[in-house]
Chains A and B, each alone.
Chain A
């Protein structure tokens, strides 16, 4: 269709970071299946299954984010730091939940909750909000959707509609 080529960011297909993310998605998903499979053996899931499932789920979600955010050979650029912080928070929260001693009647309280519960609720449920959505907003213009991107896509859309005789945007389908 003679579309204007994308600038030097290249394609997601050519990105080694995106390729690595896809490998991580497959590996992490396979690990989740292994953990599930371990629950079918007599005696139920062993303790390592929860560790495997927790860490592979963190890897999976991190890899999906990287796959979505990767832009050509530049990978995810400055987003690597907030993404790494998020992965550390999730992995640390799960590790605390699995490793800390069981809660007892005289457990100390951190911000109103026993330590392991606090690590999960505050570390996994709240702290990532201060990192990733803010990083997304701050890098949006440069790394997610530039004006050039939008102009190229709109130009392609106009050509596509003209070629196929589609209704203009917002019209009836």
Chain B
């Protein structure tokens, strides 16, 4: 299970298939054109970034379509294009339990979090997700603890995506892995520092559009090959029926655990929920869940289509078995799609890793310059300038981790999603919908998520403990932190009213 979570965080770490010499010029040309667009958007955004609010929440001025496409882009990362199809090729349809819950999670998030977080931005100056926790419980300690959890998870995500960028850029330009890491992170850092989240959002729009268009086109190719989905299924059933079982080759509890962690845990992912603050008009939330869900389905078509198609092609003898699972997408693209489409997808993978990295640069910098000082009772004098320096600092740490220690990358990449889920879902998602929740309950819950996740993942990584098949540390930690949240809040319920300001109560009742 942990390996699956690492795949999600890490994306295309295992590397892409070597590009054929004839395809390389076109693929390089598309990638360079794409990088040129990023530079243009970043220059434009940097001229509009004048305050910390601009830098961290885009001045609360993003429209619905831009916010939706950007949110789709950061939600899927490079995993949807490389790691996902590879995982599906390896374990069968059980891999889809990672993304099946998307049909429900966006509307769940809209009801539970989107409106309340957006309205919090109407009554308080909100820059970060921990800001919402601090305001909800009148607690700098809860805000600081949430920031620590976010910072730990952010470093892991950034390091794994930095490594992924290095792999992709090396595959396209042949620059070598470590230079690829520096080039990819340098580009992302440049537009993040210059234009903050505003540059990130509009680059995400470009990246998300690219991902959706290329995913749909690749899926169309999949349907034309081998007699469509039915033809692929017949080929697979003849060779490996278990692959097309509802859980594939996974144990039912293992697949269901993925659904639980990625379904409920979606309410605690800062890169997605942080964007609720940015919407220009809260009434635009009406169409947000529908648009985002449709966008996600389009982007995930490649995940499903390539995974099934490559398996069918191997089963019918039209393709040799893959040396590495992560070769599924590159092999399919280079063998069965026009080179231009392959170039778009390769650029889309680079785009996806930059997109998620930019979001985490911004969130990590905000934790350092805003949340932690606030928890310690200090104020940063120039938040915009400090935010830019913090972005550089956190990026250098991620690059150091990515280039110096593969095992550290693998370890950190394991628990980011689960850490965010277990520390933020109870205190934030439930806490914003329950006036009986208390400050003590929130702090105990965040601490439980942090300690259980770090302790269990560390001990499992070091092989001191063995986690049985079907159990995920992320799921275990999320369940425990939820029960601790309710239990401690019940024990301290006499303090609930003192944890809630009038304006926050009004937001919760609206």
| Residues on A facing B (Cβ under 8 Å) | 1, 3, 6, 9, 11-13, 18, 22, 25-26, 29-30, 32-33, 35-36, 39-40, 44-45, 49-50, 53-54, 57, 60-61, 64-65, 67-69, 72, 86, 90, 94, 96-98, 100, 102-107, 109, 111-114, 116-117, 119-121, 124-129, 132-134, 136-137, 140-141, 144-145, 149-150, 152-154, 156-157, 159-160, 166-167, 169-173
B433 touches A50 (CB 8 A): no
Whether A172 contacts B383 in the complex (CB less than 8 A), given A50-B253, A121-B93, A157-B124, comes out as: yes
Q: With A145-B510, A153-B510, A154-B122 as given contacts, are A33 and B253 in contact (CB-CB < 8 Å)?
A: no
For residue B458, CB closer than 8 A to chain A, the reply is no
Q: Are A128 and B103 in contact (CB under 8 A)?
A: yes
Q: Give Cα A3–Cα B503 distance, bound, in whole angstroms.
A: 8
B506: contacting residue among A3, A137, A166, CB under 8 A: A3
Tell me which residues across on chain B come within 8 A of A140, comparing CB atoms: 283, 285-286
Contact pick for A137, options B122, B290, B509, CB 8 Å: B290
Instruction: For B430, list chain A residues within 8 Å (CB).
Output: 22, 25, 64, 67
Interface residues of chain B: helix, strand, loop or mixed (majority): helix
B283 and A150 contact, CB distance less than 8 A: yes
The answer on a CB contact under 8 Å between B506 and A6 is yes
- The answer to whether A68 touches B112 (Cβ under 8 A) is yes
Q: Which of B20-28, B196-204, B241-249, B388-396 has 4 or more CB atoms under 8 Å from chain A?
A: B241-249
B482 touching A173, Cβ below 8 Å: no
Residues of B within 8 A of A32 (CB): 260, 475, 479
C-alpha spacing A144/B284, complex, angstroms: 12
Q: Are B111 and A144 in contact, with the CB atoms below 8 A?
A: yes
Q: How far is the CA of A28 from the CA of B472 in the complex (A)?
A: 17
Which of chain A's residues have a CB closer than 8 A to the CB of B256? 50, 53-54, 57, 94
| Contact across chains for B509 and A29 when beta carbons are under 8 A apart | no
Nearest Cβ in chain A — how far from B381, in angstroms? 11
Bound CA span A134–B107, Å: 9
Complexed CA–CA distance, A40 and B297 (Å): 36
B468 in the interface (beta carbon within 8 A): yes
Known: A45-B470, A136-B290. A156 touches B233 (CB 8 A): no
Q: Number of B residues contacting the other chain (C-beta, 8 Å)?
A: 93
**A interface SS class:** helix
The contact sample of 25 A-B pairs, CB cut-off 8 A, is: A1-B503, A18-B433, A39-B468, A39-B469, A45-B253, A50-B252, A54-B252, A65-B104, A67-B433, A68-B111, A103-B237, A106-B237, A119-B246, A121-B93, A121-B96, A124-B100, A136-B111, A136-B289, A136-B290, A140-B286, A149-B510, A153-B122, A156-B123, A160-B123, A170-B59
The number of inter-chain residue pairs (CB within 8 angstroms) is 280
CA distance A13 to B257 in the complex (A): 31
Supplied contacts A39-B468, A171-B51, A171-B53, 14 more A-B pairs, CB within 8 Å:
A3-B506, A33-B480, A36-B475, A54-B252, A112-B233, A128-B103, A136-B290, A144-B111, A144-B115, A153-B119, A153-B503, A153-B510, A154-B122, A172-B53
Chain A min CB distance to B219 (Å): 13
Interface residues of chain B, those whose CB is within 8 Å of chain A, are: 51-53, 56, 59-61, 93, 96, 99-104, 106-108, 110-113, 115, 119, 121-125, 127, 228-230, 232-234, 237-238, 241-242, 244-247, 251-253, 256-257, 259-260, 263-264, 267, 282-283, 285-287, 289-290, 293-294, 297, 304, 370, 383-384, 429-430, 433-436, 468-471, 475-476, 479-480, 482-483, 486, 502-503, 505-510
Please state if B433 and A68 are interface contacts (CB–CB under 8 Å). Answer: yes
Q: Which residues of A contact B429 (CB under 8 A)?
A: 64
Decide yes or no: A173 and B435 within 8 Å by CB, A61-B263, A103-B242 being known contacts: no
Q: Are B111 and A53 in contact (CB under 8 A)?
A: no
Partner of B100, one of A107, A121, A149, A154: A121
Q: In the bound complex, what is the Cα–Cα distance between A127 and B101 (angstroms)?
A: 11
Task: Return the contact of B111 from the options A44, A69, A106 (Cβ within 8 A).
Answer: A69
What B residues does A94 contact at CB under 8 A?
256
In the complex, residue of chain B having the shortest beta-carbon distance to the beta carbon of A6: B509
- Most chain-B Cβ atoms within 10 A of its Cβ — which of A11, A53, A61, A68? A68
Task: Collect the chain B residues with CB atoms within 8 Å of residue A153's CB.
Answer: 119, 122-123, 503, 506-507, 510
In the bound complex, CA of A166 to CA of B126 (Å): 11
B104 touches A90 (CB 8 A): yes
The 10 tightest CB contacts between A and B, nearest first, are A112-B229, A68-B111, A68-B112, A97-B246, A133-B290, A50-B252, A157-B123, A140-B286, A149-B510, A172-B51
Of B103, B119, B435, the contact of A12 (CB 8 Å cutoff): B435
Contact pick for B53, options A121, A128, A136, A173, CB 8 Å: A173
Q: When the two chains form their complex, are residues A133 and B282 in contact, meaning their CB atoms are under 8 A apart?
A: no
Q: How far is the CA of A67 from the CA of B486 in the complex (A)?
A: 14
Q: If the complex has contacts A35-B253, A116-B246, A171-B53, are A160 and B286 also in contact, measured as CB distance less than 8 A?
A: no
The answer to whether B244 and A113 have CB atoms under 8 Å apart is: yes
Cα-based distance from A64 to B508 in the complex (angstroms) = 15
Contact present for B297 and A65 (CB under 8 Å): no
A68 to B100, CA, bound (A): 21
Measured CA separation A3–B486 after assembly (Å): 29
CA A13 to CA B430, docked complex, whole Å: 13
Cα–Cα distance between A39 and B59 once the two chains are bound (Å): 48
Roughly how many angstroms separate A160 CA and B104 CA in the complex, as a whole number? 35
Contact A145 B283 (CB under 8 A): yes
**Given known A105-B238, A160-B124, A170-B60, contact A129–B293 (CB-CB < 8 A):** yes
A154 to B468 Cα, complex, angstroms? 51
B-chain residues with CB within 8 Å of residue A54 when the two chains form the complex:
252, 256
Min C-beta distance of B384 to chain A, whole Å = 7
Cα–Cα distance between A100 and B246 once the two chains are bound (Å): 9
Least CB distance from A62 to B in Å reads 9
